[in-house]
Amino acid sequence: MMELTEEIRAVIDKTTAAMKLGEGEYIAPADGLVHCRKCGAPRQTVIRSPFGGYIAPRCVCPCQQEKERRRREAEERRQRMERIRRRKAQGLQDRYLYGYTFAHDNGEKPVMAKAHAYVNHWPQAFKKNIGLLLFGDVGTGKSFLAGCIANALLERDVPVLMTNFPTILARLCGTFGEDRTAFLNSLGDYDLLIIDDLGAERNTEYALEQMFSIIDSRYRCKKPLIVTTNLKLDELKHPPDLAHARIYDRILERCAPILFAGKNFREDNAASTKAAARRIVSPDNQKN
């Protein structure tokens, strides 16, 4: 602080007299400035006026700086949580996908370690445009693993969309012109696009053309793609025709294949559901 001359003290006294002190403030007799009762630091300072002389405006003490820092952090957290909520609503359009998280993993699939690794190394995967091809028999956990990756990245505020071609094609059938173009372009806005259950869609000429357009667009914008499919790797490497070859070649070039084998978890879940249903409707559980 500059030397406290009579001129400066007069400016301070005049300015302070017109101020309304807030709670936790006092005027220090030593310098006549407003101070904070908590940390003792000044909440008023003296500076030269660009028009000549001096002025004694308010300033911020460390307590106020810390309070403002916490307020900003709280607001940033609130905005982040709201952004994540919106991303989930947009990216996980089927509500059951909300339950596909690492917390719900039963630990029976060693391949889940690859999902954790992919999430942990996401910055590198995104930079190098590295995707995954999850293939194997029905019910072996491919969609669950993809959903775990989707949810984990969404929690990190990464834009992710998990969908399937029947859903995309149904949306395209109802759009035309600029709306259609805008929808297709919107798929490129997501840092990660997950196409679930490749091969379940109808293999019409129109469907195959749209599928190639989406996969190729993803390829060209250099953003990662994850695909799950019940098709065998040999079927993907030796497609039946050129239309499929164009699609599968793009996928195999940028997506590392991961095989899912073992028991069918859907059969286990179905058995558990049936057993629970039998207990519910058992005569022993009926009330008179």
Q: Is the pLDDT of residue 277 over 60?
A: no
Which pLDDT belongs to residue 93?
A: 81
Q: What is the mean pLDDT of residues 120-138?
A: 95
Which pLDDT belongs to residue 178?
A: 84
C-alpha–C-alpha distance, residues 154 and 170, integer Å = 25
Dihedral sign (CA 210, 216, 220, 224):
positive
What one-letter code names the amino acid at 158?
Answer: V
Q: What is the mean pLDDT of residues 265-275?
A: 51
Give the whole-number percent of the chain exceeding pLDDT 70: 90
Give span(s): CATH 3.40.50.300, the chain: 92-263
Q: How confident is the model at residue 264 (pLDDT cuts 50, 70, 90)?
A: low
Which pLDDT belongs to residue 265?
A: 45
C-alpha–C-alpha distance, residues 122 and 153, integer Å = 8
- Topology (CATH level 3) of domain 92-263: Rossmann fold (3.40.50)
Q: CA 168, 171, 174: angle at the middle one, nearest 5? A: 150
Residues 6+ apart with CB under 8 A from 64: 36, 43
Q: How confident is the model at residue 202 (pLDDT cuts 50, 70, 90)?
A: confident
Q: Is the pLDDT of residue 73 over 90?
A: yes
Look at 1 and 101; give whichever has higher pLDDT: 101
**Secondary structure class of 255 (helix, strand, coil):** strand
Q: Is the pLDDT of residue 94 over 80?
A: yes
**Secondary structure class of 67 (helix, strand, coil):** helix
Instruction: Report pLDDT digits (tens) over 15-31.
Output: 999 999 999 999 999 99
Which pLDDT belongs to residue 197?
A: 93
Q: Is the pLDDT of residue 268 over 60?
A: no
